[in-house]
Every structure is written in structure tokens, then in C-alpha cells.
Amino acid sequence: MGNVEWHRFPLGGQAQLEIRDPRGRRAGDFGYGHGDIGRTWVICGRERARARRRMFRQSEPAALFTIALCSMWPTVINTMQGVRSIPQDYTNVAKVLRLSTWKQFTKISLPATLPYMFTGYRLSLGLAWLVIVAAEMLTGTPGVGGFLWQEYNSLIYSHILLCILTIGVVGFTLDRLMGMAEARLRAA
């Protein structure tokens, strides 16, 4: 039961960062790429379909894709709300002081958006944890989800309750750790 697939957190997060819209922008990019940064290769539809079929024949890439897809939306939506909630006065002050784009981003946009971003991160982390457990249940990989599925099929209720408590404690611990990271970042 103790074999939790921890490597899925960073891999799912990396996949979340690499998800792009049809114009080639990554999720979270503020504008179109400058120079070569925003350019992506255009792969014809048939090759893209072949790549998808190859990728999803295995359970691991499918699980990572599902984790990334499910966990990215709270972060994206909360960050967008944070950017929208920046007071117009802040933007006007930046124009009057003639701040560069980088200064405006680091001194105004990021500090005003950070609480919203961390709310999204906390929600995404909790959602990713639940999706990891569900993916383990579906794919049969070892971990809390796989163990829970085996015990459910065996009708061993004490182990099922233990799994549910473990899932809750790990989720609570992850939330507290993210809260501590947010507090440290605010203090800095």
C-alpha cells in the first residue's frame, strides 16, 4: 500500500505546461511567442493521430495526460481571475512611472496575482492527487488506488477504510505543504 506513484506529480505538471492551444501558445503564455519561443512544429493530422494511438497504448502516458488535463484548469482559471482583478490604478501608476514590461510584471502583476495562483495550485494539487488514485485504480498499477481496488474486489472493508483515511491524510498534508510554501513566498 505504501508504493505511491509520486513521480506522476512532476510529470503531470510538466505535461500541463506543455499543453498548447491550436495557435501554438502554451497554457499560461501571456502573448504570442517572441522569435522562436512560441513556434511549434505543425504535424499533419494523420501523424498526430498515429502519435496519439502509440502514446495511449500504454497506461502510463494516458494516466499522465489525464492528470495534467484534470489538474490544469483550477490553476488556469484562478490565474486568469487574479490577472483580471488587478486594479486599474496599479496599471496607471506603472504607465506614469514608465516601468518596463518586466518591472511591471515583477512588481505589479505577479504580486497581485500570487494569492489567486496559489489558490489554483492548491486546488490543482488536491485534484491531481485524486486523479492519481483514480488512475491507479483504472490501470491496476501499484499504489493506494490499486490497493483500494483490490480490497474493494475482495470486500475487505477494514483495508478500504484504511485506504480512504490514507488518501485523506496525504491530501491534507499536501495542502498544508502548499500553504507553507505560499506563506514563505509571501514573506519573502
pLDDT for 151-182, tens place per residue?
999 999 999 999 999 999 999 999 999 999 98
pLDDT tens per residue across span 101-113 = 999 999 999 889 9
Question: Per the domain annotation, does 133 fall within a domain?
Answer: yes
Specify the residue for cell string 495557435: 23
Question: Per the domain annotation, does 2 fall within a domain?
Answer: no
Q: How far apart are CA 67 and CA 71, in angstroms?
A: 6
Kindly report the number of other CB atoms within 10 A of residue 136's CB atom: 24
Q: What is the mean pLDDT of residues 56-61?
A: 71
Question: Per the domain annotation, does 1 fall within a domain?
Answer: no
Question: Per the domain annotation, does 3 fall within a domain?
Answer: no
What's the number of CA atoms in the CB half-sphere (13 Å) around residue 147? Answer: 18
DSSP string computed for 22-79: TTSPBTT--SSPSTTTT------HHHHHHHHHHHHTSHHHHHHHHHHHHHHHHHHHHH
Residues 6+ apart with CB under 8 A from 55: 61, 62, 65
Looking at residue 186, its pLDDT comes to: 80
Question: Total domain count for the chain?
Answer: 1
CA dihedral 130, 132, 135, 140 (to 10 degrees): -120
Question: Per the domain annotation, does 23 fall within a domain?
Answer: yes
Whether the pLDDT of residue 144 is over 70: the answer is yes
Distance of CA 76 to the CA centre of its chain: 9
Residue 42: domain span: 8-187
Looking at residue 157, its pLDDT comes to: 92
Domain harbouring 27, CATH code: 1.10.3720
- pTM higher than 0.95: no
Give Dmax (Cα) for the chain: 69
Q: How far apart are CA 96 and CA 59, in angstroms?
A: 54
pLDDT tens per residue across span 9-51 = 555 554 544 444 444 545 444 444 444 333 344 444 555 566 6
